[in-house]
């Protein structure tokens, strides 16, 4: 799938080296086609890493996708150069009158804080409300999923006794649902979080349908309103070395961090991590774009005046 991004976005060169079809703005102007408009609210600290991971994940269908990176106004991100944000991102205020076929809201390193303590919580609530009327389908990842479940359904998050960190086995529960079409019965996916939304709260919420779960990691995929809202509790977009970098970062800080479960061969952190989740991750994002965005969105969106 051709992904339409800004001409000078750093991820563009890496994606092209990986033979991923990337279309810059100038070429896209000559295409007589209605691309899908997908917004990515990137709340992760290492913006460029997350950009690359998500663009990889969105690159596996024949659909053309026009990506807009979005940021919040009420927070200073210290791990990304301001010039990068100013050049490649739009604030919510700048896009709030626009309509999108799909939106992705990422995780964020604020999970151990109460939702109301997060400095952009008020703005994020506005974004959640805006998604109801301006987006065909929204996909929420990790803390973004926890925050959305709290906002929409009043579900709580609980601090885990130990960080959930590594690769975990999951079981597909609703095979007929298009979101998990093409999945094996069992699959692995990365998690990296200190909190969880209890399985019982999700299972007892009549608006939510659980698509995949893990005995150790709890619910992995659930959805509401026939896919208008999709919640992903882990990080299927992570690349091979993301958990490695997090592990090395925490070790470097002297934190009591365990070796990521099931990640290194023989749990030996001197060995190259195994990549065992990308096929299912790509399938999930492809299914989301095809069945819940492309198949459901109107051909013409009229932005607010």
Give the model confidence (pLDDT) of 99-141 as tens digits: 999 999 999 999 999 999 999 999 999 999 999 999 999 999 9
Question: In whole angstroms, what is the distance from residue 191 CA to residue 165 CA?
Answer: 5
Q: 232-249, pLDDT tens digit by residue?
A: 999 999 999 999 999 999
* Residue pointed to by tokens 């109801």: 132
pLDDT at 24 over 50: yes
SS (H, E, C) 52-89: HHHHHHCCCCCCCEEEEEEECCCCCCCCCCHHHHHHHE
- For residue 74, what pLDDT is reported? 77
Residue 20: which of 49, 68, 53, 69 has the closest Cα?
A: 53
Question: In whole angstroms, what is the distance from residue 104 CA to residue 287 CA?
Answer: 14
Question: In whole angstroms, what is the distance from residue 211 CA to residue 28 CA?
Answer: 36
pLDDT at 166 over 50: yes
Question: In whole angstroms, what is the distance from residue 178 CA to residue 19 CA?
Answer: 27
Taking residues 77-90, what's their average pLDDT? 84
pLDDT at 39 over 80: yes
- For residue 155, what pLDDT is reported? 98
Residue 303: which of 130, 89, 122, 106 has the closest Cα?
A: 130
Report the alpha-carbon angle 302-89-244, nearest 5. 125
Phi, psi of 243 (to 5 degrees): -65, -35
Residues 6+ apart with CB under 8 A from 119: 74, 75
- Cα 275 to chain centroid distance, Å, stands at 18
* For the chain, percent of residues with pLDDT exceeding 90: 73
Taking residues 194-215, what's their average pLDDT? 97
- For residue 4, what pLDDT is reported? 67
Please give the positions annotated as active site. 142, 235, 237
């Amino acid at each position: 799938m051709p992904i339409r991004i800004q001409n000078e976005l750093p991820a563009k060169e890496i994606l092209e080296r990986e033979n991923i079809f990337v279309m810059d703005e100038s070429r896209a102007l000559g295409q007589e086609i209605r691309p899908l408009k997908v917004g990515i609210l990137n709340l992760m600290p290492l913006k460029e890493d997350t950009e690359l991971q998500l663009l990889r994940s969105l690159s596996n269908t024949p659909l053309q996708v026009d990506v807009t990176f979005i940021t919040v106004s009420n927070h200073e991100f210290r791990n990304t150069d301001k010039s990068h944000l100013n050049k490649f991102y739009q604030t919510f205020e700048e896009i709030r009158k626009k309509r999108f076929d799909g939106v992705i809201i990422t995780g964020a390193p604020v999970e151990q804080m109460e939702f109301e303590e997060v400095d952009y919580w008020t703005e994020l609530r506005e974004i959640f409300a805006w998604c109801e009327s301006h987006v065909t389908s929204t996909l929420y990842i990790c803390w973004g999923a926890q925050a959305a479940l709290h906002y929409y359904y009043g579900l709580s998050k609980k601090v885990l006794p130990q960080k959930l960190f590594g690769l975990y086995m999951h079981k597909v529960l609703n095979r007929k649902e298009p979101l998990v079409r093409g999945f094996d019965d069992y699959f692995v996916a990365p998690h990296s979080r200190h909190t969880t939304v209890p399985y019982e709260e999700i299972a007892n919420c009549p608006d939510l349908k659980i698509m995949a779960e893990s005995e150790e990691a709890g619910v992995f995929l659930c959805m509401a309103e026939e896919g208008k809202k999709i919640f992903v509790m882990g990080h299927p977009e992570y690349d091979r070395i993301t958990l490695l970098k997090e592990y090395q970062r925490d070790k470097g800080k002297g934190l009591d961090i365990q070796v990521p479960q099931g990640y290194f061969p023989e749990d030996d952190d001197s060995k190259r991590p195994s990549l065992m989740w990308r096929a299912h991750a790509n399938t999930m994002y492809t299914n989301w774009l095809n069945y819940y965005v492309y198949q459901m969105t109107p051909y013409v969106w009229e932005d607010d005046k």
